[in-house]
């Protein structure tokens, strides 16, 4: 295998903090844009139902289409990132979001909204392969924990911004103006990334048909034979199912169990996401501390996720009452957030050299699968009035993700570097 470097990569340590911080900030901005686009349609579902005469099943299908396309595309885009580099794929992805927002601003019915879901799903697909390829290549090793922390934090902030941005502008003007404003936002992000494009350049590995010793080079799909890849995939699928339970059903659960107002219940979900962002910030320091003191990343993930599962299970018991349940549920977000940077370090250790895009694309597609499956499974619980059982189910799948994380840790030593 030979390497052709498209541009100069960062020098060996010590690397100036400003250089690493710039790369981390640019990738974080791009990741926040991706999470913003997860909610490009959902906050305005009530408006579409009213204006276009749609049902809840109709608008729900839009999100299913988004995550199915994103999941399939994420697995495939990793190969593209490894072949052409992360930067051009990242720019194209943000361009898809720009087009999606313009299409949304002109939508006259369900077909237009479905086109937005397709475009946004295509745009969302490459982000994890792109982001982690850039971070792993352009950020110095001692700061990778903080880089992964910032990456997760900005994603949560993107989720937090989208509803207030779109609904707020709609309240001040109308929803078409909100999508025009979103288009302007994407243009601004794309312009900034283009201006700083030299910071996003990555190495492309050119695969020779044969190794220097004459043996054939492994096929691009050879990494799929590694059990550790599928343990990583399972980890993301399971942990994301718990997040989907909170995002999709927590307000309805609190209303059903305690008569909580919709406003307060929605604030609880926002508190969960903000606590998760705070946890990711703290988790960056935890990850670095773990590296320095030889504490395995899978152990950190297991303790943090296990604590989160315990918190959610306690919420399901109803022991804390309304206010206590809201607080402990938010604390669950913090515990899960702490695990984020160590989780990403764990995946880095499981990634064979030269296959960053492919591996990250495959394992992170578990996120999309989890988001697609969780509402279907736990929606059946909700339809039957099993509200506490839905929270308990979220705790169970989070606990299973602990088992998956430990499985990754046991197998990561067998990955060839």
Concatenated DSSP letters for 233-294?
HHHHHHHHHHHHHHHHHHHHHHHHHH---HHHHHHHHHHHHHHHHHHHHHHHHHHHHHHHTT
Which of 9-18, 140-149, 168-177, 197-206 tops mean pLDDT?
A: 168-177
From the list 380, 361, 276, the residue with the least C-alpha distance to 71 is: 361
Let me know if domain 220-412 sits in CATH 3.50.50.60.
no
98-102, 154-158, 191-195: least confidently modelled range: 154-158
Model confidence pLDDT, tens digit, residues 45-75: 878 888 999 886 787 788 888 988 998 888 8
Lowest mean pLDDT among 25-34, 68-77, 177-186, 387-396: 68-77
Check for a shared fold between 2-206 and 220-412: yes
Place of tokens 């720019």: 91
The predicted pLDDT at position 207 comes to 56
Which residues lie across from 205 on neighbouring strands? Answer: 3
pLDDT tens digit sequence for 142-190 = 888 888 888 888 988 888 788 888 988 998 999 999 999 999 999 999 9
Domain boundaries, the chain: 2-206, 220-412
239-257 residue pLDDT tens: 888 888 887 788 888 888 9
pLDDT at 8: 45
Two tokens, residue 60: 């729900």
Measuring CA to CA, which residue among 113, 93, 3, 99 is closest to residue 53? 113
R_g of the chain, CA atoms, integer Å: 21
CA angle, residues 26, 28, 29, in degrees to nearest 5: 65
- Of 112-126, 249-263, 344-358, the range with the highest mean pLDDT is 112-126
Top-confidence residue, 209 or 115: 115
Q: Is the pTM of this model over 0.85?
A: no
Task: Give Cα 152 to chain centroid, integer Å.
Answer: 7
**Mean pLDDT to the nearest integer, 114-140:** 93
Which ranges constitute the DSSP H helices of 384-415? 387-411
80-94, 216-230, 327-341: least confident range: 216-230
Domain 2-206 top-level CATH class:
mainly alpha
Question: Do residues 71 and 358 touch, judged by C-beta distance below 8 A?
Answer: no
Which pLDDT score is estimated for 353? 65
Indicate whether 294 pLDDT > 80.
no
Number of neighbouring beta carbons within 10 Å of residue 142: 14
Work out the mean pLDDT of the chain and round it to a whole number: 84
What 8-state DSSP symbol labels residue 221?
Answer: G
Q: Which residues contact 168 (CB under 8 A, 6 or more apart)?
A: none
More confident: 381 or 87: 87
Q: Which pLDDT does position 355 carry in this prediction?
A: 61
């Amino acid at each position: 295998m030979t390497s052709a470097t498209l541009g100069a990569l960062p020098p060996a340590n010590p690397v100036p903090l400003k250089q690493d911080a710039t790369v981390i900030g640019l990738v974080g901005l791009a990741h926040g844009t991706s999470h913003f686009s997860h909610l490009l349609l959902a906050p305005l579902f009530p408006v579409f139902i009213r204006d276009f005469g749609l049902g809840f099943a109709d608008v729900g299908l839009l999100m299913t289409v988004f995550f199915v396309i994103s999941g399939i595309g994420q697995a495939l885009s990793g190969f593209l990132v490894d072949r052409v580099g992360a930067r051009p794929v990242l720019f194209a992805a943000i361009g898809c979001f720009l087009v999606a927002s313009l299409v949304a601003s002109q939508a006259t019915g369900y077909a237009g909204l479905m086109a937005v879901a397709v475009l946004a799903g295509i745009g969302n697909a490459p982000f994890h392969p792109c982001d982690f390829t850039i971070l792993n290549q352009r950020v110095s090793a001692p700061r990778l924990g903080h880089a992964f922390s910032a990456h997760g934090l900005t994603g949560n902030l993107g989720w937090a911004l989208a509803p207030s941005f779109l609904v707020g502008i709609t309240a001040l003007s109308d929803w078409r103006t909100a999508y025009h404003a979103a288009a302007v936002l994407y243009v601004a992000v794309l312009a900034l990334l283009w201006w700083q494009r030299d910071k996003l350049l990555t190495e492309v590995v050119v695969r020779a048909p044969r190794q220097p010793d004459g043996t054939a080079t492994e096929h691009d799909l050879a990494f799929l034979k590694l059990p550790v890849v599928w343990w990583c995939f399972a980890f993301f699928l399971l942990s994301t199912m718990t997040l989907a339970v909170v995002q999709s059903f927590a307000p309805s659960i609190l209303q059903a169990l305690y008569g909580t107002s919709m406003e307060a219940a929605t604030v609880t979900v926002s508190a969960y996401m903000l606590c998760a962002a705070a946890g990711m910030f703290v988790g960056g320091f935890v990850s670095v501390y773990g590296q320095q003191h030889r504490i395995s990343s899978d152990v950190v993930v297991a303790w943090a996720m296990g604590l989160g599962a315990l918190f959610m299970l306690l919420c399901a018991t109803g022991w804390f009452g309304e206010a206590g349940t809201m607080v402990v549920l938010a604390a669950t977000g913090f515990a899960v957030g702490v695990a984020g940077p160590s989780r990403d370090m764990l995946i880095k250790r499981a990634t064979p050299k030269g296959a960053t895009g492919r591996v990250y694309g495959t394992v992170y597609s578990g996120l999309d699968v989890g988001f697609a499956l969780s509402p279907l499974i736990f929606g059946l619980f909700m339809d039957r009035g099993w509200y506490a059982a839905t929270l308990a189910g979220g705790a169970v799948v989070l606990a299973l993700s602990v088992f998956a994380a430990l499985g990754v840790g046991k197998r990561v030593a067998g990955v060839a570097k």
